[in-house]
Amino acid sequence: MPKRALHLVAYDIRCPRRLARVLHVVKAWSTGGQRSVHECWLTAGERAALEQELAAVIDRREDSVLLIRLDTARAVRTLGIARPPRDVRFAFIG
């Protein structure tokens, strides 16, 4: 079974119609997020599929999309009232 890695997907889309489409695509893959930044647990193949779906929706001349793989071996740091995850091995999808 392929191993999943935690990724952040962030975007800045100029057109409201494309923004709605990008949000729809990203939410299909994400486990959480806020506004234009989402957390996604992806295999290499899933990441490639997400990149293809996003490329089909955005306008490369006007829009920006950033897909970053995070290092889950490092300790989680939180700021303000945020609480660190209780069980980092568990991800709720629903």
With CA atoms as reference, report the closest residue to 40 among 66, 6, 67, 15: 6
Binding site as annotated, residues for Mg(2+): 12
Q: How far apart are CA 24 and CA 18, in angstroms?
A: 10
The alpha carbons of the chain give a radius of gyration, in whole angstroms, of: 14
Binding site as annotated, residues: 12
Query: 38 to each of 1, 6, 26, 75, 88, how far by Cα in Å?
Result: 24, 10, 7, 19, 17
